[in-house]
Structure 1
Amino acid sequence: MIIARSPLRISIGGGGTDLPSYYQEREGFLLAMAIRKHVYVSLQRTLEPGLLLKYSQIERPARVVEIQHPIIRESLLELGLGGEAALEITSVADIPAGTGLGSSGSFTTALLKALHALDGRGIPPHELAEQACRIEIDRLGEPIGKQDQYIAAMGGLTGFTFRRDGTVAAEALPVSAATLADLQANTLMFFTGRTRSAGTILAEQDRASRAMDAGMLANLDRVKALGYETRDAFLKGDLARWGEIMREHWEAKKRRSGAMSNPQIDAWYDLAMASGAVGGKLVGAGGGGFLLFYAHDVARLRAAMRGAGLAEVPVVLDPEGTTLIAR
């Protein structure tokens, strides 16, 4: 049995500038952090003919082209495995899908890593990320960006530049041990209890960017600038400044779409800001998922959010990207 593991991620700054509709015109930049919450994919060839797929559903298709799960189907076809007729694939995750932590990109990279290992092949992280992007963006036409696949493949705390020609430059952010300790001790993340598909919100942004909507482009230009400011704050060890930047970033995100927030999310956010948070935002495309905060009074913030019924998920850096844990 082969088992591959990919980390989930949080966007640290610059999120949204990784969509082709933006970076092909302006170049994008963002920071992302892989966390110690994962998607796992196991696979093995079986003695009995037919495919057995276990995820949130169970499929037993006779042929690859009959697979209903689009990423599994297209990944097998992309790798020339359309003739595979005796294979079992299982996926489980530490966090539910649709929570803004990039689970789709993590699933795709873990699946591809395992499939390459099926015949004893390896694949470098950058190539793995590009292959995952090709499946989700090109083959399936999802209106998403490239950050999820890249941070899942590479791990760590990483800055990404998305060039106009579609290439991606990745650079591990050289923060001090003290800054990393500060980040993990004073960054809190809470589950809103709501899941959603990022596609609708991102599709709205994508359409506006492609139409060269001045308001949307100006919004993303500012978000990119905040991404650079965030990088500088991390390099200086000034995470309180990052908290302030997140607050501005959140206001900019809400202006992109009316579906980004709702009265309940706004109320939780206001509670956090009155209970020790320096700043924060909703992770991912919006509408649900996780609220992320940097706090100067961690105990007070934790107590307030738990009192509001929100479960906390620890924010711990995962320095590894997609990896094989059994083969």
Structure 2
Amino acid sequence: MIITRAPFRVSFCGGGSDLPSFYEKYGGCVLSTTIQKYMYLTIHNYFHKDQIVLKYSKAEIVNDFSEIEHRIFKQCLQDFNLKGVELSSMADIPAGTGLGSSSTFTVALLHLLYTYRGQYASKYKLAKDACVVEIEKLGESIGKQDQFAAAFGGLKFYEFLPSGFVNVEPIVMAQESYKTLENNLLMFYLGGSHSASAILKEQSTNIVNVDKAKIQMNMCNITRELKERLQENDVDAMGHLLHENWMLKKSLASGISNPLIDDVYDRAMNAGATGGKLLGAGGAGFMIFYVPEDKQAAVREALFDLREMDFKMDNSGASIVHIDKDFI
């Protein structure tokens, strides 16, 4: 048996600039971190060599790739021309909650299949191949940030060049500042799920509008400023820059926010948060807030009706958890 995992991500600023409709014209950038919540995938040989067994939120036993319902499993297994295996997936967090679950799944699956074949794949290759699967082959209207975050892990600045190349740069901070940042980020679960592809499709279409493109460019400027401020150990800058980014992001597409999200945001800000945002494309899932330590009790009280999720930042990226010595 082989087990791989990839981390979920929290995107702070710049989301949307990783869409081809934007970065191919202007270049884009995102600052994000991965967290110690993971997608796990396993593979082992199946008794019947002409069949495939898949276990996720449902179970499938098929004889041909064309029979597979799960689109990412179907595409990847077909690409690798792989039968006679049983694969299963497990996750610490539900899909559709704004933490990049689809791309995290794809990265972990590709890592699993390359390892099964006895082939090394760099983190960049895993991210790039995941983008090809989701964006080019499956036609999803999504960007590149989730695939690169899941593959590389950590607190990083991603720059999306018009050529399609992605620069990956770690955020270098003092350990004390890193801990302060980690401690001052509070995450709350709103419930529900969303289709990132549907929201991002509208956002991608809107980018042809000059005013919308200018908003996205301003978000990139905020992202670059956040990078500089964090590397200067000005951790509290995270709050007001998150707020500026969220105010801009809400105007990019109709499904990003709604009255429930606005109410939660206002309650947190009135209780002492200095900034925050909805995670992911929009509509549902998790919200994150930057809250100074002396205001955290008040914010938790203000959001008493929501489930808080404790988390720590991750630095591992896509990794192999277990492999039998004689498996490959």
The normalised TM-score by structure 1 is 0.96
* Letter aligned with residue 178 of structure 1: E
The amino acid of 1:99's aligned partner reads: T
Residue 184 (1) aligns with residue 211 (2): no
Structure 2 CA distance for aligned equivalents of residues 170 and 284 of structure 1: 20
1:247-266, aligned counterparts within 5 Å?
247-266=243-262
CA distance in 1: counterparts of 2:122 and 2:93, whole angstroms: 26
Please state how far the C-alpha of 1:85 moved relative to its aligned partner: 2.8
Once the two structures are superposed, the pairs formed by residues 143-182 of structure 1 within 5 Å of their partners are 143-182=141-180
Secondary structure of 2:114 counterpart:
helix
**Residue 15 of structure 1: how far off its partner (Å):** 1.2
Equivalent residue for 1:288, pick from 284, 306, 312: 284
2:66 aligns to what?
Answer: 65
Post-superposition Cα deviations, 1:154-190, rounded to whole Å, max 9, x if no partner, equal 0011111101010111011111101111111110000
Deviation by residue 1:26-84 (Cα, 9 ceiling, x = unmatched): 001111101000000111111124111111111111112321111111112233x2xx3
Report the Cα distance in structure 2 between the residues aligned to 1:121 and 1:85, rounded to whole angstroms: 17
Match for 2:263 among 267, 278, 289? 267
Note if contact 2:156-2:169 (Cα within 8 Å) is conserved in structure 1.
Answer: yes
Cα RMSD (Å) of the superposition? 1.1
Distance 1:179 1:2 in 2: 37
| 1:204-255 Cα distance to aligned partner (Å, 9 max, x none) | 011122xx21122011101101100111121122222211011111111111
Q: What are the residue-to-residue correspondences of 1:1-327 with 2, within 5 Å?
A: 1-48=1-48, 49-79=50-80, 81=81, 84-209=82-207, 212-296=208-292, 297-305=295-303, 307=304, 309-327=305-323
Shift of 1:293: 0.3
Gaps of 5+ in 1: none
Aligned residues: 320
Q: Which amino acid aligns with 2:91?
A: A
- Following the alignment from structure 2 to structure 1, what is the Cα–Cα distance between the partners of residues 149 and 276? 21
Greater Cα offset, 47-56 or 139-148? 47-56
Cα pair 2:206 2:252 within 8 Å, conserved: no
SS of 2:36's equivalent in the other structure is strand
Q: Which segments of structure 1 move beyond 6 Å, counting only runs of 4 or more?
A: none
Secondary structure at the aligned position of 1:303 is classed as helix
Q: How far has the Cα of 1:258 moved from its partner? A: 2.1
- Give the Å deviation of 1:275: 1.1
CA distance in 2, matches of 1:89, 1:207: 36
- 1: CA distance between counterparts of 2:162 and 2:311? 32
Q: CA deviation at 1:199?
A: 1.2
SS of alignment partner, residue 277 of structure 1:
coil
> How far apart, in 2, do the equivalents of 1:103 and 1:233 lie?
29
Query: Is the Cα–Cα contact under 8 Å of residues 206 and 253 in structure 2 kept in the other structure?
Result: no
The alignment-based identity, stated in percent, is: 39
